[in-house]
Amino acid sequence: MTYNTPQGFSFAVAEAAIKKPGRKDLALITSEKEAIVSALFTTNAIKAAPVLVDIKRARSGIGRAIIVNSGNANACTGPQGLRDAEEMAALVANALGLRPSEVYVCSTGVIGAPMPMDRIRAAIKPLVLSLTNGTLHNVAEAIMTTDTFAKVSTRVIEIEGKKATISAIAKGAGMICPNMATMLCFILTDIAVTKKALDRALKDAVQCSFNSITIDGDMSTNDTVLAFANGMAQNRPIEYRGKDYETFCNCLSEICLELAKMIVKDGEGATKFITIDVINAKDNSDAKMAAYCIANSMLVKTALYGNDANWGRIMAALGYAGVSLKADRVDISINGIEIAHHGLTTGRDAEAQHSMAGSSDIHLMVDLNLGRAKGRVFTCDLTEGYVKVNAEYRT
């Protein structure tokens, strides 16, 4: 597959047999010119070695390359894991004539296993030599673990009369729960933008996308979002606020939301894509928290898998969400069919169940009738497929 990609970026993939042979599992992204870099990382207290390395790199606000592998998370690997992450960046830097501090490193896969550095070292040179042959889609495929399809999104926009591009890839299908949702995302653009503007735009885009999804309630040790802006579109650098900033933000948010939805739709074993809206809450925090409690309830998720409009499970999840509510004000709808009104049944469960059985997209609406705040979360159902994938993950 081919996509519009920003000027000045090159891509390469190679096989290092990191978990098993037979697939490309090492990828490289490079920028012809120094790029402004913004980054967001997992808030898990247990952070993988590459995350710890990249947190330090990101303080500079600049970068030229990303080396990423699948099959091994390089997490819970102690001091050797840190040395391995640093070495991966250094090997790429030496091959490209860059400073090691300009190379970011990311990993995804099994936690607790040592990195097979002998195979990675051997793969770096052919990886660099193939930079003129790779594509963004190749990289998206190489970073997959339990994903069933490559996740790519791109937009061409106009800034100051100049055509510019924002492209992004992501991986993730399980161990997905903010903050952030195991996921990696790499955003590339040739638009010139200031560090302050990029930081703010990325934070806002992630909040309404990757920080609004959950598959299984488990937060990864490796979650990373990296944005590279190399300015090769030659527009005047976009400042925080203003028309061009708004255009840039809207585009970035669209891309992140599209990728976030792809992650949910690719949830391990998932058969249904579920949008949960909590409206008329006391405040936005309550609305989002209530939506997450419903989305992460195994009882709710399994009921939706079975096309069971079991609104009692939704009420129970609301009750332990720790938000302001009154049971006799709560209204619940599935696909526009009200199944509970003011905390009591409407007798329309069978109608809602018929609607769910005929669709892979489910819209769950909860009206708390307490205020004007709202929150939205995207999730999927919980099936036997999820159990099978994770029971066999290391075998």
Residues identified as active-site:
182
Closest residue by Cα to residue 225 from 147, 170, 153:
170
DSSP string of 166-193, one letter each residue? EEEEEE-SSS--SS----EEEEEE---B
Helical packing angle, 78-96 and 117-129, nearest 10°: 20
Q: Which residues are CB-contacts of 58 (< 8 A; sequence separation ≥ 6)?
A: 37, 38, 39, 104
Q: Which residues are CB-contacts of 165 (< 8 A; sequence separation ≥ 6)?
A: 4, 5, 6, 7, 154, 155, 156, 157, 189, 190, 191, 233
∠ Cα 32 116 11 (to 5°): 20
Closest residue by Cα to residue 277 from 367, 217, 340:
367
Closest residue by Cα to residue 263 from 359, 379, 168:
379
Residue type (1 letter), 203: K
CB-count exposure of residue 200 (10 Å: 0-12, 13-18, 19+): middle
Determine how β-strand 151-159 pairs with β-strand 103-110. unpaired
Dihedral angle, C-alpha 154, 157, 163, 164, nearest 10 °: -50
